[in-house]
Amino acid sequence: MRQQRDEESGRERKALREMLSLWRWVKEARRRQGGASTGLRLSIHKEEADAAEDAKEWEAEVAREVEEAREEAEAAAEGEARKYQERLRKWKDMHSK
């Protein structure tokens, strides 16, 4: 889950950089060619972040992910233990005769 979130965040940053680069290229091409500009403007709004709140949310998210991974590992271990017990029982039945 964390990896997916990080990849998505990276894709968003890359898309933003590409969008800005393309917008600058279009503006420069229009200027060089003497083209008319459109009524469109690119607006990017930077949001201020509360570092302490972001850190708190990140820690809570990591704690949730750790708990989820622990639960998955426990469930897998329980399943493996059941399989082992069943195979052991079958082995004992087969060798006790």
In the predicted model, what is the mean pLDDT of residues 56-73?
92
- Which residue segment(s) compose the domain that 73 sits in? 47-97
> Are 32 and 58 found together in one domain?
no
Instruction: Indicate whether 42 and 23 sit together in one domain.
Output: yes
pLDDT recorded at residue 72: 95
Do 86 and 56 belong to one domain?
yes
Estimate the share of the chain in helix, then strand, then coil, as percent rounded to the nearest 5.
80, 0, 20
Say if residue 40 is in the same domain as residue 64. Answer: no
71 & 32 share domain:
no
Q: What is the pLDDT of residues 65-81, one digit of tens each?
A: 899 999 999 999 999 99
Residues 70 and 55 in one domain: yes
Largest Cα–Cα distance of the chain, in whole Å?
96
| Cα separation, 82 vs 24, whole angstroms | 62
Mean pLDDT of all residues in 69-95: 95
Does one domain contain both 51 and 96?
yes
Closest CA to 23 of 39, 4, 42: 42
pLDDT above 90 (res 96): no
CA 7 to the chain's CA centroid: 5
